Structure 1
């Protein structure tokens, strides 16, 4: 789905999802991490779903927001496509790590500075 020369899309984004704007079956957030779970049969996937799987080969993981950016799609469209793939078993998703469980930035900076000091 490339943009036309004068900026208007030939096919609107919402057609990639069959007109659905959201999908409540699989809760996905902007920072939910998506990972390929199984090889897909391209004949049973929509072009949008194939594009999602093309940027997520087995062993690769990306947050949903980055998937939307790579595909140059609105987040809501990418979320519906990804939810369909998670439900079909082609993708796995993991919720984002809560801020309380993330490592302390000061400790990480001290660790990096200490490693640089060992190197020199």
Structure 2
């Protein structure tokens, strides 16, 4: 096998290595070919907040976790992060991060809190009436 640009022999398997970017790992390899989070049914919105579970110790030795899972855990360690922040911090596509978070959620390593949908927020009129009632006291 030869390099198309120089004509020099190329090492076997080097098509998976880019001299400028380093080794390439395809997203489907990180997620085991999955495109959706596991059976938990949790929907990971971009603004959903991910918090590291109190059960996760500093020396987590869950052997089923890959390096990408560990990166997400490390990003959540200091503070709660949104799914979008985790994707940016881990330099991974959001779809991959959603699948990996599904794995972490199943194992109890993280908790996810979704933002309140606007339809469930109290009406502004009601809030104004409460404020006026408190002022009247």
Richer in helix (by share): 1
Divergent runs of 4+, >4 A? 5-9
Higher relative contact order (CA 8 A, sep 6+): 1
Is 1:39 the counterpart of 2:39? The answer is no
TM-score w.r.t. the length of structure 1 is 0.70
Q: Tell me the number of residue pairs that the alignment of Structure 1 and Structure 2 aligns.
A: 100
**DSSP 3-state at the match of 2:73:** helix
1:52 equivalent among 57, 68, 72? 72
**DSSP 3-state at the match of 1:92:** strand
TM-score w.r.t. the length of structure 2 is 0.62
The offset of 1:98, in angstroms, is: 2.5
Question: Which ranges of structure 2 fall in alignment gaps of 5 or more residues?
Answer: 1-16, 125-137
- Cα distance in 2 for partners of 1:98, 1:84 equals 25
C-alpha contact 2:38 2:103 (8 A) present in aligned 1? no
Question: Which ranges of structure 1 fall in alignment gaps of 5 or more residues?
Answer: 105-120
Deviates more, 1:40-49 or 1:70-79: 40-49
